[in-house]
Amino acid sequence: MKSRRSRVAFARAATVALGIASAIAFAQGAQPTPAERAIEYRQAVFKVVGGNFGPLAQVAQGKLELPAPATRKYAERLASIAEFTRDAFPDISREGKTRAKAEIWNDRAEFDKLLNELNDKSRALAAVTARTDATPEDFKAAVGAVGNACKSCHEKFREK
């Protein structure tokens, strides 16, 4: 009788162990690869960039009115988040579900130059929104400069 209980207990333990091992293997299989995580990070960064730049562009186009503190807040966030773009294109993220072109890694110097322009123009926009003497024309020019930095990079380094 003792041996039957031992066998049943062993069988149950083995079943539980196999179930746990299967669950772990399944969960690990569902985990994104390092390349997929890098691409997800990049997409998240640019989603936040767009989420903060969009309202500013709408204000510059006269499609949205925001109080000065809100405009300044969006611009400051944009300047901060734009810094993250520098780390959003590691080598491991060359391939995968992305619209990033191979030219990014083939012409890294030009790409980095454009990222630096985005950062510079974003900081300049934040500086304009912090000034009490800034005119609407100053604001529109600064927003336009950020938009042009985005456009120049998208035209060369992003699939449509």
For the chain, state the CA radius of gyration.
Answer: 25
pLDDT tens digits, 52-89: 999 999 999 999 999 999 999 999 999 999 999 999 99
Q: Could you tell me the CATH number of the domain that includes residue 152? A: 1.20.120.10
- The span from the CA of 16 to the CA of 66, in Å, is 59
Same domain, 15 and 49: no
Same domain, 40 and 64: yes
Q: Are 79 and 125 in contact (CB under 8 A)?
A: yes
Same domain, 105 and 79: yes
Query: How confident is the model at residue 2, as a pLDDT?
Result: 54
pLDDT tens digits, 85-136: 999 999 999 999 999 999 999 999 999 999 999 999 999 999 999 999 999 9
Same domain, 37 and 113: yes
Q: How many domains does the chain have?
A: 2
- The span from the CA of 57 to the CA of 24, in Å, is 47
Same domain, 148 and 102: yes
- pTM score, whole prediction: 0.80
What residues make up the domain containing 1?
1-31
pLDDT, greater one: 21 or 148? 148
Residues 6+ apart with CB under 8 A from 75: 52, 56, 122, 125, 126, 128, 129, 130
Calculate helix-pair angle for 108-130, 136-157, nearest 10 degrees. 160
Query: How confident is the model at residue 14, as a pLDDT?
Result: 47
